Amino acid sequence: ITVVTWNVGTAMPPNDVTSLLHLNTGETNDVDMIAIGLQEVNSKINKRLKDALFTDQWSELFMDVLSPFHFILVSTVRMQGVILLVFAKYYHLPFLQDIQTDCTRTGLGGYWGNKGGVSVRLSIFGHMVCFLNCHLPAHLEKAEQRKEDFATILHMQQFEGPVANGILDHDLVFWFGDLNFRIESLDICFVKYAIDSNVLSQLWEKDQLNIAKSTWPVLRGFQEGPLNFPPTFKFDVGTNKYDSSAKKRKPAWTDRILWKIKPPSKGLGTGGHRPSQGVLSVSQLCYCSHMEYTVSDHKPVAAIFAVQFASKVDKPLVEIYVADEWSRPEQAVVRYKMAVGFHRSSWDWIGLYRVGFRHPKDYVSYVWARSDDGERCLEKQLSVSGLQVLFSEEALPKGNGEYILGYYSNTSSSIAGVTEPFQISLPRSEEGSSSTDSSGSSSEEDDSTLVLLAPKSRSPSPGKMKRHRSRSPSLAKFQGLILRPSSRDRGTSRSPSPQSRCSLPRNIPTIHLPQEELGHHEVKSKELGQTAESPEGSSFYQTVQEQSGLRRVFADSSLARADPRNLGLLPALRLEMIDQALGWRRESTDQGYYPCQRMSPTSPPGCGPSPKEGHSP
């Protein structure tokens, strides 16, 4: 496990962080996980608004650098300028479960998040591990305040589950960050002399953290490797020279990485046996700073640990079986088997990923893992027989490449099973891409659905496939909203009814009736429901809503009931309140004309006859 801490001082990311992550050495092949703690990431108002809509630049940088080495972002948490990122090799993902995050503010008496701690806890091969990234109060005289804030963080952060509810309840804790401990008693001239003479051991006994480890009960059991690197604070930005400003701050080891192993229980272990000593061992292989990075007044610090568990859970919760190569669409069959006791959800899905994907939502396509209602059976039977799903031809990537399948569990918000890389070799379809382009959308995805997401980020739930059903849980919460395509998809038309496109699997008609003719159409409503054509032959479910002499009839039972499992995924949506959307329609009614209607995907784009002419919609 590699752990990195860096106070970046609101700076922009550097171009290269491979040496910081030890990616240019032979150690990379042996590293299974990487935890990165950042402090003072730019959190000004305009920057925070941008980061709320897009992934912050530091996280993007680390994902870009680590993905070619098969590291996947497992979890991340941010509290203003304090960020924690946890990565792991893709083949370890099924064994990283029970992932939870928490954060505690300690700035301004607990109301401001510039200081405090963020954590990611998870089960690694059945053992509970917690990563805690902290930014504690600055200045030499604030040692007691740092002690109180750390105790507050340990007390406030609580996790759900039967085991390891508190931070110190975990089998292994990594504590790191800008802890801001300083060097006491010695003046700046002696400190700089010791650094220049490379006699750093003369500074260790005056280091506040070293003193606190032997005097503060809250730090009992925490270990740290020898400080064989120069103090990492404070430097002139852009140089390797210590502070030359008027303040001339004394150099200090403010950036630290510690760990703590949970002491074995004094009681009897499983089966009445006393637990063996040393069942979990941690060895620090490297503890160093990186002087080559000068964008901040702090130097980053990295440590590499070898962690040995007494046992490990080596059977994934979901096993996925797939052919070695997909050269024809009919070969895109996925069989999977769930372990007994696995809590599956109807929101689980199987994602198709390119080798080198960045995070669990970085899929190429997906298919819902839920079986049909008629196939429900006992969990034990499911684990024996297994289930099967099929990727549609349009969901498959064209061309040659290596891919991985992963089963995403919505309950645990993690990948519960992966395959080994396999080959997809499908001919490119120029015809299919051109016809899709002519409909006004991209051949791969309609990026109008990703307006608020970063170019490289993915939807928080599967939903970018136009021809797949949408199960986004947010749809059911907006039953009082009007869903219609964006103006880009409608072209210059201002019709309130959704205009269908070639790629749309279903049309959702909207019917407007004047007040005086409502009775006539209500008489024929039953006949209308029987004769109107629906893409799936379903009957109309009508809901009449009265607004200022105008009534709207919502057709199609799936939309009226807003059941996301029965809705076709619309390529682009705009959500408007009813009053806002109907405001301009009232003006249209006063002028004596009615909007255009399109009743089926095959109807012509021109305006149909007005309801005043006596024609049925």
Phi and psi of 229, rounded to 5°? Answer: -120, 155
* Calpha distance 279→301 (Å, rounded): 28
pLDDT at 517: 47
> What pLDDT, on a 0 to 100 scale, did the predictor assign at position 114?
86
d(CA 165, CA 169): 6
pLDDT at 64 over 80: yes
Sheet with 172-178, edge to edge strand ranges: 96-107, 112-124, 127-135, 172-178, 255-261
Q: What pLDDT shows up at residue 311?
A: 85
Mean pLDDT over 131-146 rounds to 96
Q: 243 exposed, middle or buried (CB, 10 Å; 0-12, 13-18, 19+)? A: middle
Q: Is the pLDDT of residue 448 over 60?
A: no
- Look at residue 385 in the predicted model and tell me its pLDDT: 57
pLDDT, greater one: 500 or 350: 350
536: pLDDT strictly greater than 80: no
- pLDDT surpasses 80 at 601: no
150 or 379, greater pLDDT: 150
pLDDT greater than 80 at residue 522: no
Pick the residue with more confidence: 445 or 54?
A: 54
**DSSP conformation letters of 517-578:** GHHHHHHTHHHHHHHS--TT-PPP--EEEEETTEEEEE--HHHHHT-GGGPBPPS--EEEEH
Looking at residue 266, what is its pLDDT?
64
**Amino acid type, 174:** F
Q: What is the pLDDT of residue 151?
A: 96
Of the chain, the percentage scoring pLDDT greater than 90 comes to: 56
Mean pLDDT across 298-306: 98
Where does the pLDDT of residue 265 fall: very low under 50, low under 70, confident under 90, or very high at 90 and above?
confident
Residue 406's pLDDT is 98
Confidence at residue 155, expressed as pLDDT on a 0 to 100 scale:
96
Checking if the pLDDT of 490 tops 50, the result is: no
Q: What confidence category does residue 45 fall into, taking pLDDT thresholds of 50, 70 and 90? A: low
Q: Distance between CA atoms of 33 and 45, rounded to whole angstroms?
A: 33
At 314, is the pLDDT very low, low, confident or very high (cuts 50, 70, 90)?
A: confident
pLDDT at 514 over 90: no
Average pLDDT of the residues in 515-539: 44
In percent, the amount of the chain with pLDDT more than 70 equals 62
Residue 145: its pLDDT value, please?
A: 95
- pLDDT at residue 419 greater than cutoff 60: yes
pLDDT at 388 exceeding the cut of 50: yes
Nearest to 355, CA basis, from 110, 155, 7, 71 = 71
2-265+278-308: what fold? Deoxyribonuclease I; Chain A (3.60.10)
Mean pLDDT for the stretch of residues 213-221? 93
Q: What are the tens digits of pLDDT across the range 282-294?
A: 999 999 999 999 9
Question: Using the 8-state DSSP alphabet, how is residue 166 labeled?
Answer: B
Structure tokens at 583: 């405001």
Is the pLDDT at 179 greater than 80? The verdict is yes
* Spatial CB neighbours of 316, under 8 Å, sequence gap ≥ 6: 94, 95, 339, 416, 417, 418
Examine residue 241 and say whether the peptide bond preceding it is cis (omega within 30 degrees of 0). Answer: no
Give mean pLDDT, residues 215-223: 94
367 closest CA partner among 223, 518, 264, 468: 468
pLDDT value at residue 430: 59
Q: In 313-429, where does DSSP find H-type helix?
A: 379-385
Q: In the prediction, which pLDDT does 109 show?
A: 75
Tell whether the model's pLDDT for residue 372 goes beyond 90: no
> Crossing angle for the helix pair 143-156 and 208-215, nearest 10 degrees?
60
Residues 6+ apart with CB under 8 A from 403: 352, 353, 354, 355, 364, 397, 421, 422, 423, 424
Q: What is the pLDDT of residue 55?
A: 79
How confident is the model at residue 373, as a pLDDT? 44
Instruction: Write out pLDDT tens, residues 352-367.
Output: 999 999 999 999 999 9
Residue 457 is given by DSSP the state -
CA 605 to chain CA centroid, nearest Å = 40
Report which of 70, 82, 1, 95 is spatially closest to residue 38, judged by C-alpha positions. 82
CA pair distance 165, 157, nearest whole angstrom: 8
The predicted pLDDT at position 3 comes to 98
At 113 the pLDDT is: 75
Q: Check whether 615 has a pLDDT greater than 90.
A: no
The reply to whether CATH 3.40.50.360 applies to domain 318-372+382-426 is no
The residue-averaged pLDDT of 525-542 equals 41
Look up residue 406 and give its two tokens: 């992963």
Average pLDDT score, the chain: 76
Residues 328 and 423: their CA atoms lie apart, in Å, by: 11
Question: Does 294 or 506 have the greater pLDDT score?
Answer: 294
Phi, psi of 235 (to 5 degrees): -110, 155
Residue 490's nearest CA partner among 445, 440, 552, 448 is 440
What pLDDT, on a 0 to 100 scale, did the predictor assign at position 24?
74
Q: Which residues contact 271 (CB under 8 A, 6 or more apart)?
A: none
Backbone angles phi, psi at 418, to 5 degrees: -135, 165
The 10 Å Cβ neighbour count of residue 230 is: 19
What average pLDDT does this structure show over 566-591? Answer: 49
Q: pLDDT band for position 119 (50/70/90)?
A: very high
More confident position, 84 or 279 = 84
Give the SS3 label for residue 388. strand
Residue 83: the pLDDT is 97
Q: What's the pLDDT at 358?
A: 97
Query: At residue 594, does pLDDT exceed 90?
Result: no
User: Using 50, 70 and 90 to split pLDDT, how confident is the model at 493?
Assistant: very low
Provide DSSP, 204-244. HTTBHHHHHHHH-GGGTT-B-----S---B-B-TTSSPBP-
pLDDT at 312: 85
User: Who has greater pLDDT, 498 or 328?
Assistant: 328
Question: What is the average per-residue pLDDT within 174-189?
Answer: 97
Report the pLDDT value the prediction gives residue 43, as an integer from 0 to 100.
72
Query: What global pTM score does this model have?
Result: 0.70
In this predicted structure, the answer to whether residue 120 has a pLDDT above a threshold of 60 is yes
- The whole-angstrom separation of Cα 558 and Cα 536 is 11
For the chain, domain boundaries:
2-265+278-308, 318-372+382-426
Phi first, then psi, for residue 288 (nearest 5°) are -150, 160
